[in-house]
Amino acid sequence: MKAGCILLFFFLRIAVFGQAGWNIVYIHVNEEVPQFIDHSSPAWMKGFSRLVCNDSMSFSYSITEKTDPMKERKDYGGKVLHHSTLMDWKSQRLYGGSALSASTKKHYYFVTDCKTNPWIFEDSVKTILGYRCKKAFFVTTRWIQSDTSYIPIAEITRVWYAESIPLPFGPMQYYGLPGLVLEVYDQRYMGKHIQAISISPEVVTIGIPAEIKIQTVADLQKKKE
């Protein structure tokens, strides 16, 4: 019994056991791509992602219409996927996956603190996949050059979240709301529109095995020195 507990501790550095959660698939489309960008560019292509989450953690990663890199395994976080994101809400930590190298021994998670966006809440309501969603947004300023000076351009990021699913998760960096985010529109990234196209309950287990390397900002700075 004692040996089994030690083995379990070694395998899961950051983990929760299977908890009731959700499995959401999103479609990503850029609605304001400048016409001068070549139409073969990925900017014009639609993409997809999957978010799985439970009461304390979430894991999001890219998929296609036909393939899912986690199809054969459900230990979310146990396989490092490039540009995937694991969020530990209780510790307010984000783990970004880096998996460019051919060797899995060189894959790692880059850990940072969660950041809170200055959300402004509205009473607007819409229904997405049968869920009543409310709206929140924030505004950022981008300065562009005009002749010899710069002028400010306001850019809006808005989301729709389901209060009936009181989890603070969402696709990509859109999190921290009082409900699961089901739709996003972000002017900062060529009018990026992200919308949930399926959602279903699922028992979700998320964790990072102890053998996977975790890098910090300090670690990366040392490598550059």
User: How far, in Å, CA of 49 to CA of 24, rounded?
Assistant: 8
Question: What is the value of pTM for the model shown?
Answer: 0.88
pLDDT of residue 14: 63
pLDDT band of residue 143 (cuts 50, 70, 90) is confident
pLDDT of residue 179: 98
Residue 58: exposed, middle, or buried by beta-carbon count in 10 A (0-12, 13-18, 19+)? buried
Domain span at residue 18? 2-224
For 126-141, give one letter per residue: b (16+ CB within 10 A) or e. eebeebebbbbbeeee
Distance, first Cα to last Cα, the chain: 46
Query: Does position 225 have pLDDT exceeding 80, yes or no?
Result: no
3-class SS of residue 81: coil
Percent of the chain with pLDDT over 70: 92
User: Which two tokens mark 210?
Assistant: 């102890």
User: How far, in Å, CA of 48 to CA of 182, rounded?
Assistant: 13
pLDDT 10s digits, 74-112: 899 999 999 999 999 999 999 999 999 988 889 999 999
The secondary element (H helix, E strand) that includes residue 38 is: none
pLDDT of residue 11: 42
pLDDT 10s digits, 164-204: 999 999 998 999 999 999 999 999 988 999 999 999 999 99
User: How far, in Å, CA of 158 to CA of 174, rounded?
Assistant: 9
Domain count, the chain: 1
